[in-house]
Structure 1
Amino acid sequence: MKALHIITGLGVGGAEQQLRLLLRHLPVDCDVVTLTHPGAVAEGLTTDGVRVVHLGMGGNRDLTALPRLVRMIRAGGYDLVHTHLYRACVYGRVAARIAGVRAVVATEHSLGDSQMEGRRLTSGVRALYLASERLGSVTVAVSPRVADRLKRWGVPAPRIQVVPNGIDLDCFRFDQERRERTRRRLGLPEAAWVVGGVGRLTRGKRFDVLVHALARLPDDHWLLLVGGGPEEHVLRRMAHEAGVAGRVLFTGERPYVPDGSPGPDLPSLTCAMDLLASPSAEESFGLAAVEALASGLPVLYTSCPAIEDLPPPAATGTRRVSGGPEAYARAIAAVRAAGPRPRTAPETARRYSITRSADRLLDVYAAAVSGSSSLSPSGASPS
């Protein structure tokens, strides 16, 4: 089988890094087209031996990109086209159908109740998405929560399959030596107790809650924010005004897997933490929380379908926190007071192994290519 993955951009982001990880475990001949921004993940894919083409799309309304994409699909002789992220799903589904590819899979990575990939869910956005969805074979939801949202939008249930995001358990396995090396590199005091936050530095992630929570905690508490985004300058100013700027570290965007770039990778930074806090009120999956669990970290979260969609016994080491800085400060203090715990991955993390996700997606591909609808019902939790 030969497949073409079409994605809006390849900067360092959850969907983009998930695509790279998936292609490392998917036994399919795959090429990748990025409509815009061939960033660090594009370089990583090329290093992995994946052919990456930059389409050079000028913007959302650059219709000249469509015939170029059609020609590329026809020339590649692909059995299947798989699209990722809103713009790529709209253009990719149309181009695949024009090019004569009947098996078209789309993954919905970031559909919330009020936004999609940070884009406000207007009636126009929803109408265009639904119109293009009908041109596909199946829409993959990364969690049962996203599958339910798609159904409420009007996507027929038989066209939806749940394939959770996956993690590389070995990559995130805790290592004491890596922890010590990374903490020295970051300049952390030996006694520092580190709260981590991972994700795009945008308003919706609510990392301001963690900055203000830090101001309510003793001086040996530190905050490590991993990610880049438009709110970084706001968060830096906020930390300064709260008197905690010296205890907040910004690492910028960090790769999921080592790629030769300066600075520690994401798993190393996770090793350096003592707790992961995710105050975002609207998540489609909660990948950072699952990665933290794989490193044996306790996790505080406000919204995390990856945890909430599982039976309670599977959520060892996690706690849902409702409220703002005061609630998070109390929860962080309680975790620390409980003392250290073994840094081993609970069953929750193991349920989201990338090999399981790749196997499940391969079943989706086979059904799409054959025109079959014999997959198990959508909305099922990983098991």
Structure 2
Amino acid sequence: MRVVASPAFKGRAANPYTWSLYDRLGRLGVEVTEFTRRRILAGSGADIWHVHWPEGVLVPPNPLKAFVKLQTLLFLLRWARLKGVRVVWTVHNLGSHPHERRHRWLEAWFWRAFIPKVDAYISLTETGRELATRRFPALAQVPGFVIPHGHYRGLYPDEVSRADARARLDLPSKARVALFIGQIRPYKNVPGLIEAFAQLPDEDARLIIAGRVRTRRLREILEEKIFGDLRIRAHLDFVPAAEMQLYLRAADLVVLPYDEVLNSGSALLALSFDRPVLAPAKGALRELAGTVGSEWVRLFEGELRAECLGEALRSTGTPAHRRPNLQPYEWPRIAEATACAYAEVLDAHDAYLGQSS
């Protein structure tokens, strides 16, 4: 079985999700290559084109550039399908996030054109599948699979102890430390986290915010809200893979204050470092909490409040030897499920051709 993936192995330093998936698929005998326009146009001999984050074509702020990228992708999809390639889409998002939507009319048109070119889709949760078919009813007419996001154990360096991490970050050894880590975007509501934390009277509490800020205006807002509270530490820049362990091992609690969420690799990243998570009762997070337990994923309704954050921080202190059970998120299992999904899509296509001939 031959698969072209966009992306496949590139971008591992920023997010090893696709690398982990295709590395494991390769061990199962699936031949995976990185997508290029030339590879599709030349006829790569691929059976499957696995697409992730197609909404990326809408990122350019210039509408003309976005339109050209959009049209290019749609043409390549049409061309590939004419050559017998089956298109599988993993539904990471249901569209651009509202706070970041630049080309509303163009995006609406893109999804209307993209969805009919999908031969099968993969959702990361049952909730995601329900929301995807509600958002795009045409998906109900093609095969759909639920295959979870894998964990990150063993994918990032993890040699530093809690004590060493705190020493290197100049954090008190007895402080209760809340952490937000990852790319900082408007929908993630980091300003709301700062506001909730600022209301905590606990002088031993600390908040770390680590990640690249998406916009200059958002950076200004964060700096204004942080100013004057010496309990808050901010590293508003990209966190290299080797430094992830410092922040995660130093923390007692990882907080995801999102306004909206469908899937969250950030929660699995925290759990991979044995850190409990405080997150909204939305999207995939409800299912994750049901799988690993409320001891590890604590959910809140509505806005994040200071009382909820304070209670979650006080309830931390999980013994060092305790680890959440992430067996359902093991990569070998996920790769096997993905390979089976590919095979089912190809079998269904062959059966259709047999009936129509």
Q: TM-score, normalised by structure 1?
A: 0.73
The aligned residue for residue 165 of structure 2 is 182
The aligned residue for residue 59 of structure 1 is none
Q: How does 1:1-383 map to 2 (within 5 A)?
A: 1-7=1-7, 16-27=15-26, 28-33=30-35, 69=37, 72-87=40-55, 91-92=72-73, 94-99=75-80, 100-111=83-94, 115=97, 118-119=100-101, 122=104, 124-152=106-134, 153-157=136-140, 158-171=142-155, 177-217=160-200, 218-228=202-212, 229-230=214-215, 231-240=218-227, 243-244=228-229, 247-250=232-235, 252-255=237-240, 258=242, 264=243, 266-309=244-287, 312=290, 314-317=292-295, 318-324=297-303, 327=305, 329-338=306-315, 340-343=317-320, 344-347=322-325, 349-371=326-348
Kept in 1, the 8 Å contact 2:211–2:238? The answer is yes
- Unaligned runs of at least 5 residues, structure 1: 34-52, 54-68, 259-263, 375-383
Cα 1:245–1:239 shift into 2, 3 Å: farther
**Fraction of identical pairs, as percent:** 22
Question: How far apart are residue 73 of structure 1 and its match?
Answer: 4.4
Cα 1:25–1:227 shift into 2, 3 Å: farther
**What secondary structure, in the 3-state scheme, does the structure 1 residue paired with 2:138 have?**
coil
Cα 1:172–1:17 shift into 2, 3 Å: closer
Instruction: State how far apart, in whole Å, the 2-side matches of 1:4 and 1:143 are.
Output: 24
**What secondary structure, in the 3-state scheme, does the structure 1 residue paired with 2:301 have?**
coil
Instruction: State how far apart, in whole Å, the 2-side matches of 1:280 and 1:121 are.
Output: 23
Kept in 2, the 8 Å contact 1:166–1:355? The answer is no
Instruction: State how far apart, in whole Å, the 1-side matches of 2:4 and 2:56 are.
Output: 12
1:181-212, CA deviations, whole angstroms, 9 ceiling, x for partnerless residues? 33222222323321011332122101112212
Kept in 2, the 8 Å contact 1:81–1:105? The answer is yes
Question: How far apart are residue 7 of structure 1 and its match?
Answer: 4.2
Quick one: which amino acid aligns to residue 204 of structure 2? D
**What secondary structure, in the 3-state scheme, does the structure 2 residue paired with 1:76 have?**
coil
Kept in 2, the 8 Å contact 1:5–1:32? The answer is yes
Question: How far apart are residue 280 of structure 1 and its match?
Answer: 0.4
Q: TM-score, normalised by structure 2?
A: 0.77
Count of matched residue pairs:
325
Q: What's the C-alpha RMSD, in Å, of the aligned pairs?
A: 3.4
Quick one: which amino acid aligns to residue 165 of structure 1? H
Question: How far apart are residue 142 of structure 1 and its match?
Answer: 2.2
Instruction: State how far apart, in whole Å, the 1-side matches of 2:198 and 2:12 are.
Output: 29
Instruction: State how far apart, in whole Å, the 2-side matches of 1:183 and 1:190 are.
Output: 7
- Unaligned runs of at least 5 residues, structure 2: 58-69, 352-357
Instruction: State how far apart, in whole Å, the 1-side matches of 2:289 and 2:266 are.
Output: 19
Instruction: State how far apart, in whole Å, the 2-side matches of 1:180 and 1:269 are.
Output: 12
Quick one: which amino acid aligns to residue 284 of structure 2? A
Instruction: State how far apart, in whole Å, the 2-side matches of 1:123 and 1:13 are.
Output: 33
- The structure whose Rg is larger is 2
The aligned residue for residue 377 of structure 1 is none
**What secondary structure, in the 3-state scheme, does the structure 2 residue paired with 1:169 have?**
coil
Quick one: which amino acid aligns to residue 235 of structure 1? L
